[in-house]
Structure 1
Amino acid sequence: MQKKISSESIKELRIKTGAGMMDCKKALEASEGQIDAAIESLRKKGLASADKKSHRIATEGLVESYIHSGSRIGVLVELNCETDFVARQTEFSMLAKDIAMQLAACQLVNYVSKDDIPEQLVLYETKIESEKEDLSKKTLQIKEQIIKNRVEKRLKELCLVDQPFIKDPTITVQELVKRHIALLGENIKIRRFERFILGEGLEHKSTNLTQEISNMIQNK
């Protein structure tokens, strides 16, 4: 006998995954009411659906802003989709806000994905890792593998899509976007962003009281 699925369970699964009500109901029925198993099932289906849409051209969307408390950090991000209809959806707008907030929190992130990282930077990071002292006694094969892994880790630290989502660290920003692709039925791309930090790049005045007093005496 099939286990009866409560409306509370369906609502909980929908909140956690963003999937449709009927999809949530079917996933829970197939998993006999097990939330985690249902999430895994929906995630697999959602990601597969998102991957199929990833080649579509996305030229609509919106530019979202986020100003952090205290007004010392601000972010602008352009999020693209396929149609103006999806761009006006609440879920799309919330995704853009979450991504802007993520960028304010992850100040080491400078690129959307690894595809955006200049080859010159990759070569530089490889050079830095290859010259570290702890590799001097390793065999060439092991040394190359360690360097590759370290560079890969470093590049991920610089990329937005590889960051754990601040509201749910069990998924990455890329997985968050793919969930919304599955939910809204269109390709979604984070195109570009700009982060503004108050005073960044300016030469700050430093106060040296001893030097200031000395200058005052000499000028008398």
Structure 2
Amino acid sequence: MAKVDAKTVKELREKTGAGMMDCKKALVESEGNLEEAMAWLRQKGLASAGKKAGRVASEGLVESYIHTGGRIGILVEVNCETDFVARREEFKALARNIAMQVAACPNVEVVSTEDIDPETIAKEKAIEMGREDLANKPEKIKEKIVQGRIDKRLKELSLLDQPYIKDQSITVEELVKQSIALLGENIKIRRFTRFVLGAGIEKKESDFAAEVAEATGQK
């Protein structure tokens, strides 16, 4: 695997507008070759997505998805910049696919890891720090292990970090970026709601997740 330095990543980002992690991945895939990395980002539809990420997205649509048998229902709001793009079939298809993604991921709770309450993260860290398998580890090593575990856990809760159900080689975030490049506007998944038949307060979270997994075929 080619060693990628921060300076090259920054240069690629400035040239393409792609995200830092996307640039790093492109350089790794291209063995450090800047031109090939740029081509890789264009092929993935990521080369211009970053430049549009800061633009206001206040239009869009609310899409619904009802899983076969009517046991699971999803509502998702996906935003874009103009009503013109919101009416395009490509945008509608994206919203439908995102709704289906939520149905297939019963453990997902938020759009992005940035939406997770810091208090929740602090509690997770306290739990991990107290685990027996880390009791004899040096403090610095323990911190590193715990951070890795927390990062993994947070990604499990984040919709954008999930492998896309129709193409496991990309994440939902990369799918959105490809749509940004295709449609030429900033696109954001704002929120989603999941309804599961019979899932009331009396049901445990484990039962809730198992029910959704069974209904979507995700075992």
TM-score, scaled to structure 1: 0.73
Q: What are the residue-to-residue correspondences of 1:6-25 with 2, within 5 Å?
A: none
1:87 aligns with 2:86: yes
Give unmatched runs, 5+ long, in structure 2. Answer: 1-36, 204-219
Residue 182 of structure 2: SS of its match in structure 1? helix
1:40 shift after superposition:
2.4
Would you say 1:124 and 2:123 are equivalent positions?
yes
Give the structure 2 partner of residue 66 of structure 1. 65
Tell me the equivalent position of 2:140: 141
Contact persistence 2:64–2:99 (CA under 8 A): yes
Letter in 2 for 1:69: T
How many Å apart are 1:171 and its aligned residue? 0.2
Q: Is the 8 A contact 2:60 2:77 kept in 1?
A: yes
Provide the aligned length of Structure 1 versus Structure 2: 168
| Superposition deviation, residue 202 in structure 1 | 4.8
Once the two structures are TM-superposed, the CA of residue 62 in structure 1 deviates from its matched residue by 0.3
TM-score scaled by length of structure 2: 0.73
The question of whether the paired residues in 1 share the 8 Å contact of 2:38 and 2:47 is answered with: no
Alpha-carbon distance in structure 2 between the residues aligned to 1:172 and 1:115: 16
Counting aligned pairs with the same residue, the percent is 62
Q: Give the 5 Å matches for 1:32-181.
A: 40-43=40-43, 46-181=45-180
Partner of 1:195: 194
Go from structure 1 to structure 2 and tell me whether the alpha carbon gap of 1:68 and 1:51 turns closer, same or farther (over 3 Å shift). Answer: same
CA RMSD of aligned residues (A): 1.9
Tell me which amino acid in the other structure corresponds to 1:165.
Y
Which residue number corresponds to residue 15 of structure 1?
A: none
Q: Secondary structure at the match of 2:64?
A: strand
1:110 offset after TM fit, Å? 0.5
Q: Which runs of 5+ in 1 are unaligned?
A: 1-36, 205-220
Larger Rg: 1
Give the distance between the partners of 1:38 and 1:203, measured in 2 at CA: 52
Mapped partners of 2:199, 2:71: distance in 1: 10
Q: What is the one-letter code of the residue matched to 1:124?
A: K
